[in-house]
Amino acid sequence: MEETPPPLQAGSKPHLEKLTLGVTRILESSPGVTEVSIIEKLPAERHMISSWEQKNNCVMPEDVRNFYLMTNGFHMTWSVKLDDHIIPLGSMVINGISKLTQLIQSSVYSLPNAPTLADLEDDTQEGNEDHQLEKPHFDCRSAIFELDSCNGNGKVCLVYKNGKPGLAHDTEIWFLDRALYWHFLTDTFTAYYRLLITHLGLPQWQYAFTSYGISPQAKQWFSMYKPITYNTSLLTEESDNFVNKLDPSKVFKSKNKILIPKKKGPVPPASGQKGPGPLPPPTSKPSMGSGNPVRK
């Protein structure tokens, strides 16, 4: 049984620094980040690639082939230290050739009529209106291979759009969420690999490319460790969803009632002065001819 080599520190070897596009230095300089490590994998041999192509009746795309000739899979992790606890957070995974298997649902019960993924197949194109792309099919119309299980949050898949035999130029990268809806990611494996690295392997980062976005918990991690190429405006929620905008005129409306005076006799005069009757008219000013006015 082949043993997994121990994880290496990210900056321990120059070729690993090139493989990660230098993102290790960014992580190691981020506050609270610790234990940035990569599991080093030997390059795949050419006969392994040829064997995979013959077994699956698919031609491996050139960029995928070059990747496996450099490293037979990829696994990089990093953690954060909160108080005295170390929490595993980032995870970047690309399966090796032996785990680049076709997406097939095994039956929970060994019954002849057990449901499969193909039973969910329909002709709707939900979730892909923005891209105007035909979604992958669970049946023979597409050949789907799993690149990353996303820690149980979905699956990133290499999809041959026209089934088998699969041609190299006929591939795309798609994300299958937990509800079994498809979401387009990139046209090529190289573009997807850059997305994987630049999103730092944050939890559920693939959901940023769905119509419903990432979860509130993942959004908190995104706010702390922003991806390198991420639209930060997507991290902000609509203020109406979280902020109660109080209108004092409506909230305290019951306290602004008009007071009706109780009947306690005649209403006092508008002048507000106490007394039995109206005031006498003011005295006329002394005429100018009588001299200066008297000062009291």
Q: Where are the domains of the chain?
A: 14-104+134-238
Question: Cβ neighbours of residue 63 under 8 Å, at least 6 residues apart?
Answer: 188, 189, 190
Per DSSP, the three-state class of 25 is helix
Q: Is pLDDT above 60 for 76? A: yes
Report the topology of domain 14-104+134-238.
SMI1/KNR4-like (3.40.1580)
Q: Is pLDDT above 80 for 129? A: no
Question: Measured between alpha carbons, how far is 210 from 212 in angstroms, rounded to an integer?
Answer: 5
Please report the pLDDT score of residue 17 as a whole number.
Answer: 75
Alpha helices in the chain (DSSP H): 14-19, 23-28, 46-56, 62-70, 189-198, 216-224, 239-242, 248-251
Q: Which of 63, 43, 81, 256 is nearest to 173 (CA)?
A: 63
Q: Is pLDDT above 60 for 124? A: no
Backbone angles phi, psi at 23, to 5 degrees: -70, -20
Mean pLDDT of 229-238: 50
Give pLDDT tens digits for 164-180.
999 999 999 999 999 99
Q: Confidence class of residue 22 from pLDDT cuts 50, 70 and 90? A: confident
Q: Confidence class of residue 1 from pLDDT cuts 50, 70 and 90? A: very low
pTM above 0.85, yes or no: no
Tokens describing residue 207? 């959901």
Asked if 170 and 188 count as a contact pair (C-beta separation under 8 A), the reply is: no
Q: Name the percent of the chain lying above pLDDT 90.
A: 47
